[in-house]
Structure 1
Amino acid sequence: MKIFHIICAAVMAATIASCDAHQDFPDTSMKIGDILCTDGKVVRFEEMKAQEKTPIAVVFYVNQKEDIEGTGYAVYLKDIEPCAYSDSIGIKHDTSADLAAFDGNSNTHAIYSTYTSPAAEAVFDMWQYGQSAYIPSVAQLYLLYEVRNKINEYIRKCGGDEIQNNPDECWYWTSTEVKEQETDKAWLFSLASGAIQETPKTQAHKIRPIITLYN
């Protein structure tokens, strides 16, 4: 019986030692700079190349807050050419008009439902591969602005339109209307400086669509 206990103790010690031994596991957590592919998978750039997947967007934010929907955001590789937020002045598009809200998705749906927004229609027209693009809010574009240089590296590698630093090429529509001027103006955002500018809705400006991730 004593020998049996000694053997059991030796086996347990060996098991504990093997558990404590260092083991390398692949890091599968989503990171800024990962690539969203047309099959809906988010992978490292090297994996995308090795598996010959087709990129569609780059992860620019990984969510760690309970009040933000989804697990993160990805920005599409291409700009949408300049178009108007609204085809006429005098229409309230029922966005939150909240500069701090991460609500581009619901804003874009509200804008689209009025059937008066070339910008929203352009974004809805690009839906494919089950991905629901939308016009980011001011707060969401600020998240992109903060990491634009790192993101540009991957946009460039994937053959997309880099985020411009040129003062004449850096302004994008947000989906956020200007509070108390909702019928006439929405906010433009500079991805070069992080500045915002209230702008008549009938002006034509570029859009950089994003998507909420749920992986």
Structure 2
Amino acid sequence: MISEEISKEIYASLPTEQKLKLALYSDFGDEAKEVYDFLSSTKKEDEQIKISIAQTEGSHQAILNDGVYYIYEDGSVEKFDYDKRNAPTQKVERIGVVMGSHALAVNLEDYPEQPLTNQKDRGNYQGYISEYDDAVADWNGKSNTEHIKSIGTGIELKDDEWIPSVAELYLIYLNKRAINAAIELSGGSRIKNGWYWSSTEPSATSAWTLALYDGYLYWADKVQGSYYVRAVAAFH
């Protein structure tokens, strides 16, 4: 008969899987195999879930790489290569642009030249940004646009759209060449070499505007001025 000491040595040398089988047999007897098979199948499912999550995260990470993207109507995306001018493979909804931690979905068309608001601002807004350095760091286009809507505007934005802030407009300006190429291949209209409204407001009477031909930033009267809007939306 094998001594207890030798039995312990043999047990210690067994692989983990064999130890599990022995433990299950000790606890469940003839039902041990059924329990083991159940545990094994659960482990495989967990591994498959982890692989699926890893693949999804990897795909998401690829989307977040800097560049310009076709955003298709079904929600899928494809990176645009400016040098190759790869055409879209299905109907494009918007053009995505990513730089670092910032991303936007850019509309294929402008809203026509018009005032930013159709009424005067009452001036009780806490979000005015009058300093240039602060304005170019403003990424809050969505919340800015809510204030503009509250004043009253003739710009008929869709529910998921907003007027880009100064920083968001500069993101478009910096990538304008590639964005325009992708827009043209998608059947849209190029971003013009003209003045565009931002949703960043320095005062009750004015908003910052950006010349998308030389990057010049200037104030304009929200009611009297008439400029283009290239609306944007979220790009995740």
TM-score, length basis structure 1? 0.68
Map of 1:80 onto structure 2: 111
The unaligned stretches of length 5 or more in structure 2 are 1-54, 81-85
Distance 1:93 1:160 in 2: 38
Map of 1:112 onto structure 2: 149
Map of 1:194 onto structure 2: 215
Q: Aligned residues, how many? A: 164
Residues 1:36 and 2:57 are matched in the alignment: no
C-alpha distance 93-73 of structure 1, shift in aligned 2 (>3 A): farther
One-letter code aligned to 1:207: V
**Aligned counterpart in structure 1 of residue 200 of structure 2, from 147, 153, 176:** 176
C-alpha distance 106-36 of structure 1, shift in aligned 2 (>3 A): same
Percent pairwise identity:
27
Larger relative contact order (Cα-Cα within 8 Å, sequence gap ≥ 6)? 1
**Structure with bigger gyration radius:** 2
C-alpha distance after superposition, 1:54-73 (max 9, x if no partner): 212111224x33xx5xxx21
The unaligned stretches of length 5 or more in structure 1 are 1-24
C-alpha distance 149-93 of structure 1, shift in aligned 2 (>3 A): farther
- SS of match in other structure, 1:176: coil
Distance 1:93 1:83 in 2: 24
The answer to which structure has the higher helix fraction is 2
Cα drift, residue 90 of structure 1: 4.2
C-alpha distance after superposition, 1:145-166 (max 9, x if no partner): 111111111011001111223x
Distance 1:188 1:177 in 2: 9
Distance 1:197 1:47 in 2: 36
Runs of 4 or more off by more than 6 Å in structure 1? none
TM-score, length basis structure 2? 0.63
Cα drift, residue 38 of structure 1: 2.0
Query: What is the 5 A alignment of 1:131-210?
Result: 132-165=160-193, 170-178=194-202, 182-202=203-223, 203-210=225-232
Query: What is the 5 A alignment of 1:52-131?
Result: 52=90, 54-62=91-99, 64-65=100-101, 72-92=103-123, 94=125, 95-97=127-129, 98-99=134-135, 100-114=137-151, 116-119=152-155, 122-123=156-157, 126-127=158-159
Distance 1:153 1:103 in 2: 27
One-letter code aligned to 1:83: Q
Distance 2:123 2:117 in 1: 10
